[in-house]
Amino acid sequence: MSLSINELRILLVEPSDVQRKVIGQHLMQAQLTETRGASTIAEAKTLIREWQPDIVTSAMYFEDGTAHQLIDFIHASNLEDTVHFMLVSSEHRPDQLEQFKQAGIVAILPKPFSSQQLQRAIRATVDLIEPESVELNLFDVEDLRVLLVDDSMTSLHALRRVFENMGVEHIVESNNGVTAIEILNQQSFDLIVTDFNMPEMSGSEFAQHVRQDPSHAHTPILMVTAQANELQVTNIKQSGVDALTDKPFEPATLKKLLINLLDQ
């Protein structure tokens, strides 16, 4: 049964009454009518526990804490697969947004956000709630062997979930490039997905090592990064990465990249 947009339950967490009203109007215009509001972290936690919304749309700063605490609460309550988090913030400093991008959230929307940005974020959530498997011409998706490399356990969990939703059954995880190389010495893969910022060995260094190994020189590499400036992007491309996408990532984007990388 297809999920209707107006069936989604949205918890809007915003300390400003005015901002909460404005954002609420945007949600109504997008046909998101099943909404509740909270002005504090404590109130939001209660509603998350008792109402279990599909999406938590939250500002960053509150008198009694920050949005980080809401994400931690969702994970501690083992609700990360059913309660999806969306940050709405005017914060632009990369160091402040890095932790959110690594937490496997659905989207980061600016203040103010456009209707198109909201629709993309909602679509990403629906793709997680009602996933569709991907069809490939050259591979049976259930036979694909995928290696995921990321030092963030929440990012690994989010990536695994998206790939499993697409029908991929054979997934191996590694939390750093050094361990990933040891895994590659033992087995081969059809696709490698790696983070950029990692301790011990960066994603670019890992990709370069893979490209220098004749056994894996032609294995497609997809890099998912939370933060990369123009120079870093250039270095990433020169390291042998086949495709690059941002965190937070959209399931539809990963599906399209998977098709582009493996059906050519």
Residue that terminates a domain, selected from 89, 107, 129: 129
Q: Give strand ranges (E) for 59-169.
A: 61-62, 65-66, 84-89, 107-110, 145-149
Q: Of the candidates 251, 253, 149, 248, which has an alpha carbon nearest to the alpha carbon of residue 195?
A: 149
pLDDT digits (tens, 9 = 90+) for 137-166: 888 999 999 999 999 898 899 899 999 999
Give how far Cα 93 sits from Cα of 90, 153, 227, Å: 9, 23, 11
Mark whether 244 and 220 lie in a shared domain: yes
Mark whether 16 and 95 lie in a shared domain: yes
pTM score of the predicted model: 0.81
If pLDDT is split at 50, 70 and 90, which confidence band does 248 have?
confident
Apex 19 CA angle, 25 and 91, nearest 5: 120
- Could you tell me if residue 123 is inside a domain? yes
User: With contact defined as beta carbons under 8 Å apart, do 73 and 94 qualify?
Assistant: no
Residue that terminates a domain, selected from 129, 161, 196: 129
One-letter amino acid for residue 180 of the chain: A
pLDDT digits (tens, 9 = 90+) for 35-90: 999 999 999 999 999 999 999 999 999 999 999 999 999 999 999 999 999 999 88
Q: What is the pLDDT of residue 112?
A: 86
CATH code of the domain in which 101 resides: 3.40.50.2300
Q: What is the pLDDT of residue 237?
A: 66
Sequence-distant (6+) residues with CB within 8 A of 139 are 190, 262, 263
Residue that terminates a domain, selected from 129, 159, 175: 129
Residue 81, domain extent: 5-129
**Sole residue written with tokens 């994970």:** 75
Q: What is the pLDDT of residue 131?
A: 83
pLDDT digits (tens, 9 = 90+) for 194-243: 998 898 898 989 999 999 999 999 999 999 887 655 555 566 667 789 98
Q: What is the pLDDT of residue 97?
A: 79
Mark whether 159 and 76 lie in a shared domain: no
Q: Give strand ranges (E) for the chain.
A: 9-13, 34-38, 55-58, 61-62, 65-66, 84-89, 107-110, 145-149, 170-174, 191-195, 221-225, 243-246
pLDDT digits (tens, 9 = 90+) for 95-131: 777 788 878 888 899 988 888 899 888 988 888 888 8
How far apart, in whole angstroms, are the C-alpha atoms of residue 47 and residue 11?
A: 8
